[in-house]
Amino acid sequence: MPRVLSLKVAVYLLFWLAVDLCFGSLLEIKTAKPIFLYLMVTYAAFQWEASKILPMAVACGILRDLAGTHPFGLETCVLFFASAVLEFLVHKIDREFPIVRLAATFLFLLCVLTMILLVSRILGFYANISWGAFWIALGTAFYTTCLSPIFFLVTSYWFHDKLRLKQYELFK
């Protein structure tokens, strides 16, 4: 489990940002495009210790802000607050069960995308938000969640993360 501010993590985040920007339109299904940097935050929540979730959210948010069309700092703030809630919830759920991981990932993505829409509207960057925008957010969250098992597998291979032993496995 590397430090969040390491070269290996920075290269990996920049790779997925490039995939988002360069190949996002190729991976698009109707209006839903996957957002891989958001998956990196959920990966950190499930695989790494809790102290790495918020720094990873800030790093991913800054990268998305630098490359995005939203006002600077919007995605960083939304990711930070949503990750704080995710950090709290990860301690309360079974992180190893695949259905729970998928459900938590979907809810996290949906909350982040919806909060970005709502905060953008409150700040006056959108004149009106239609139901179509919420359907796009829902589709994006679902599509990105469907790609999360592949992303988690690739990321685990990249960082050489091993599954932690459970307490009862230590005494076998």
What's the CATH code of the domain at 33?
A: 1.10.1760.20
Please, which pLDDT band fits residue 148 given cuts at 50, 70 and 90? Answer: very high
Q: Is 148 exposed, middle or buried (0-12, 13-18, 19+ CB in 10 A)?
A: buried
At 26-42, the pLDDT tens digits run: 888 888 888 999 999 99
Q: Is 43 exposed, middle or buried (0-12, 13-18, 19+ CB in 10 A)?
A: buried
Is position 130 within any domain?
A: yes
Tell me whether residue 78 is in a domain. yes
On the CB side of 125, CA atoms within 13 Å amount to 11
Closest CA to 142 of 41, 35, 18: 35
Of 91 and 40, the structure prediction assigns the larger pLDDT to: 40
Look up the domain containing 42 and give its range.
11-162
Asked if residue 47 belongs to a domain, the reply is yes
Within a domain: residue 34? yes
Q: Classify residue 125: in a domain, yes or no.
A: yes
Residues in CB range of 64: below 8 A, 6 or more apart: 17, 35, 37, 75, 76, 79
Helix (H) or strand (E) holding 64: helix 53-67
DSSP 8-class letter at 92: T
Tell me if 31 sits within 8 A of 136, measured CB to CB.
yes
Assigned domain for 45 exists: yes
Is residue 142 pLDDT above 90, yes or no? yes
pLDDT band at 171; cut points 50, 70, 90: low
On whether residue 4 sits in a domain, the answer given is no
Give the pLDDT confidence score for residue 169 in this predicted structure. 46
| pTM score, whole prediction | 0.84
Q: How far apart are CA 94 and CA 129, in angstroms?
A: 36
Query: Per the structure, how many domains does the chain have?
Result: 1
pLDDT of residue 32: 87
Please calculate the CA angle 106-109-110 and round it to the nearest 5 degrees.
80
**Domain contains 167:** no
For the cut 70, the answer to whether the pLDDT of residue 164 exceeds it is no
In this model, does residue 96 exceed pLDDT 60?
A: yes
Q: So what's the pLDDT on residue 111?
A: 94
Average pLDDT, the chain: 85
